[in-house]
Amino acid sequence: MTRTALRQGLDEAGRKALRRAVRMEWATIAFLAVTIPVVGIVTGSSQAMRAAWIEDMLSLAPPIAFLVAVRVMSRVANPRYPYGYFRSVGVAHLVAGVALLTMGAFLLIESASTLVRGERPPIGSVEVFGQSVWLGWFMMAVMAATIPLPIWFGRVKMRLARQLHNKVLYADADMNKADWMTAVGSIVGVGGIGVGLWWADAAAAIFISGSILWDGVKNTKGSITDLMDTRATTFDDAEPHPDIDRIHDHLSSLRWVDEVRTRTRDQGQFFHVEAFVRPRKGRMPRLTQLEKARAECRDLDWKMHDVVIVPVEEFPETASARSGES
Amino acid sequence: MARRARAAAAASLIVGLALVVGLTLAGCGVRPADADSTLERIAEGGVLRVGVTENPPWTELGDQPSGTEVALIEEFASRHGAELRWREGTEEVLVDALHAGELDIVVGGLTDTTPWVDEAAVTDVYREVTSASGEIEKHVMLTRAGENGFLMDLEVFLRAEGRR
């Protein structure tokens, strides 16, 4: 009974992509459940390793946010939540963004002060099968092992995020893509200690925390603008969403329509479009025509979850014309 | 589609494992460098500066320091052909000197619960003993932070000689 609102809204390809995305996120969580303890065990007193470890823990946030949001989003709208639960994606996105931002800032300050105080990282050795091995080699090996899978996760999620128009998934894919740089950063830092450059570790940690902070800034900004009902854009916020133009084009092609202005809310997965239509002189549409126009708009794309058509004499000031027109 | 995904996952896993095994083997026995070249400095007639604080039977102070840890350090110094210079004091004074680079090692029956982890490098536990109250004490020494090659060298020595 629950879990229907989301699925009904998607077309068959979308449902398949969503199932795939859910599987990918569970796979990511499983991967992190293995790497976080292992990285934690070998972290020792390397600042760069500690930063990378904390980033690994933080990368749990977007997959969890996505899975929770998918669950909540599936609930059907009701009198108490008349627009449904689609905004839960935005809320999840904001929480993940703020977590990244805070942790990034904290780590950046900590690493910078370690560098300034000239604290030198001590890394000892362990005995493995009767052989003494420097822990630094272990750290580098473990970090190298965490590189390939996130790159692959990131590529698949990026494709699915584009298809599903899901910004949390996009943020997660982006983070996975950045993860390998973190791993390389910590390898360089520990390698630097290995050749006697004590500052390499703190410098690498600064680089890693900078990347976490940047992720945080991007995601916090993106989620806040979405919650503020900024105009609907593509999944990567690169440009206004082309579906809005398609609504303009479709409505303008109707015989009774003189001019169209719209206001669109991006509710996370779906759009809520208010289309203001000025009818031609003496061509006031009948109710059936309005109904038909609304149904046709919704059929343009599965993202058009809710379309309201309002015949008006004067347009509201904030409603906008088709992109490229004024 | 799903098969390709599985293949990609398997490939990543194999690459990862290969990296772990490869790097670990490459790392076997390879010692890191010291930030301040302690190992080179003490070699062949250099001076090994050791802080000692009293904690029998590990360390005892008299005309000359003695005790099990003192004996271990004497052996370690002689293997490097280094001259030993002892400095007596409280733990805090000695750790400060270690942090400032005036000492290379601090001994005094320290265990792995030592609070000096931020100021000094703690060696791997080289010996476990059961105290009179039945608790297990894990014994360690302190070296100067950042001298990782020296730290590993001492650890290798303690693993071979310190267990008895």
Task: Provide the whole-model pTM.
Answer: 0.79
pLDDT band at B25; cut points 50, 70, 90: low
Rounded mean pLDDT of chain A?
Answer: 87
Determine the 3-state secondary structure of A39 from DSSP. Answer: helix
What is the pLDDT at residue A29? 95
How confident is the model over A230-289, as pLDDT tens digits? 888 888 878 889 999 999 999 999 999 999 999 998 887 788 999 999 999 888 899 999
User: What's the whole-number mean pLDDT along residues B34-53?
Assistant: 89
User: What's the whole-number mean pLDDT along residues A93-110?
Assistant: 86
Please tell me the distance in Å from B63's CA to the nearest CA on chain A.
Answer: 33
User: What's the whole-number mean pLDDT along residues A180-202?
Assistant: 88
What is the pLDDT at residue A2? 39
Residue among A24, A117, A132, A159 with most chain B CBs within 10 A, to mutate? A132
The H or E element that residue A84 is part of is none
User: Is the pLDDT at A326 greater than 70, yes or no?
Assistant: no
pLDDT band at B24; cut points 50, 70, 90: low
What is the pLDDT at residue B143? 94
Chain B environment of A114 (Cβ under 8 Å): none
- Please give the Cα distance from A276 to A310 (Å, whole number): 5
* Order of all β-strands in the sheet with A257-266: A257-266, A271-279, A304-311
DSSP A254: S
pLDDT band at B27; cut points 50, 70, 90: low
* Order of all β-strands in the sheet with B83-88: B83-88, B47-52, B105-107, B142-143, B121-122
Rounded mean pLDDT of chain B?
Answer: 86
User: Is the pLDDT at A141 greater than 50, yes or no?
Assistant: yes
User: Is the pLDDT at A3 greater than 50, yes or no?
Assistant: no
What is the pLDDT at residue B164? 66
Residue A145: closest C-alpha in chain B: B16
Predicted-assembly ipTM surpassing the 0.95 threshold: no
Chain B contact residues (CB < 8 Å to A): 5, 8-9, 11-13, 15-17, 19-24, 26-35, 37, 117-118, 120-124, 143, 145-149, 151-152, 155-156, 159
DSSP A272: E
User: What's the whole-number mean pLDDT along residues B112-124?
Assistant: 90
With an 8 Å Cβ cutoff, are B27 and A138 in contact? yes
Chain A environment of B124 (Cβ under 8 Å): 124-127
Closest to A270 in 3D by CA, of A199, A165, A197: A165
Adjacent-strand bridge partners of A257: A279
Residue A138: closest C-alpha in chain B: B24
User: Six-digit token pair at A171?
Assistant: 């943020």
Q: Is A132 on the interface with B (CB under 8 A)?
A: yes
With an 8 Å Cβ cutoff, are B30 and A134 in contact? yes
pLDDT band at B93; cut points 50, 70, 90: very high
Cβ-nearest to A137 among B27, B35, B122: B27
Please tell me the distance in Å from A154's CA to the nearest CA on chain B.
Answer: 12
What is the pLDDT at residue A294? 93
pLDDT band at A52; cut points 50, 70, 90: confident
- Please give the Cα distance from B144 to B100 (Å, whole number): 9
Chain A environment of B15 (Cβ under 8 Å): 148
